[in-house]
Structures are given as structure tokens and as C-alpha cells.
């Protein structure tokens, strides 16, 4: 909920005379449910009928594996430390970094 305070011409909105005017605030709300549903429908439509989410995920997993392949010993130790610290995700399905 967004609340607006009527403008009184003073630039000092935190001045004491403004602190006790909570009763004058007018609730102002937006329900974005419809717009979010419309946005998602537009995204799916833009992807087109040939979009295959399973193939896309498979490609992402292959790219992730390729990104961290061929590391030398020092790079591998650094990678392992970053995974252990939760900075990088591990190799388990559904992986995500802890931070």
C-alpha cells in the first residue's frame, strides 16, 4: 500500500508538524494481479510454439557443466571453496547458490 501526504509547500516533510498527521493519509493501492497474468501470457506467446522448456533447461545444465570444466588444480580448489561457502551452486539437481 502506498500512502500519500498532501503537499503543504514545505520541503521539510520530516518537520515536527508533519509527524502527527497520519490520520490525514489516504490509502492508495494497486492490484497488479491482472497485469502480471497478462505479462506472463505475453512472455509465453513471445517464446512461440517451438519453445521446449525441457530442452532449454538441458542446454543450461550443459553450459553450466562446460563453464566449470577443465579447471586447473588451483581453479578447482577455488571453485570447491566457493561451492562450500554457498556462493556457487553445487552440481545437484535443482541447485542454487545459498546466498
Q: Which residue range is the domain that position 90 belongs to? A: 52-99
Whether the predicted pLDDT of 14 surpasses 60 = no
How far is it, in rounded angstroms, from Cα 71 to Cα 83?
A: 14
Whether the predicted pLDDT of 87 surpasses 60 = yes
Examine residue 3 and state whether it is found in any structural domain, yes or no.
Answer: no
Mean pLDDT of 16-20: 62
Examine residue 29 and state whether it is found in any structural domain, yes or no.
Answer: no
Count the domains in the chain: 1
Q: Give one DSSP letter per residue of 43-68, joined into a string.
A: HHHHH-TT--HHHHHHHHHHHHHHHT
Examine residue 44 and state whether it is found in any structural domain, yes or no.
Answer: no
Grid cell in block for residue 80: 570447491
Examine residue 12 and state whether it is found in any structural domain, yes or no.
Answer: no
Convert the pLDDT of each residue in 38-66 to its tens digit.
Answer: 999 999 999 999 999 999 999 988 998 89
Bigger pLDDT: 77 vs 90: 77
Examine residue 88 and state whether it is found in any structural domain, yes or no.
Answer: yes
Examine residue 46 and state whether it is found in any structural domain, yes or no.
Answer: no
Amino acid at each position: 500500500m502506498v500512502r500519500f501526504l498532501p503537499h503543504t509547500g514545505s520541503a521539510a516533510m520530516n518537520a515536527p508538524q508533519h509527524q502527527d498527521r497520519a490520520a490525514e493519509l489516504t490509502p492508495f493501492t494497486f492490484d497488479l494481479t491482472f497485469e502480471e497474468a497478462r505479462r506472463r501470457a505475453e512472455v509465453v506467446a513471445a517464446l512461440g510454439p517451438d519453445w521446449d522448456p525441457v530442452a532449454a533447461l538441458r542446454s543450461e545444465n550443459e553450459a553450466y557443466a562446460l563453464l566449470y570444466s577443465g579447471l586447473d588444480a588451483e581453479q578447482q580448489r577455488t571453485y570447491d571453496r566457493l561451492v562450500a561457502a554457498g556462493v556457487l551452486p553445487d552440481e545437484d539437481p535443482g541447485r542454487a547458490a545459498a546466498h
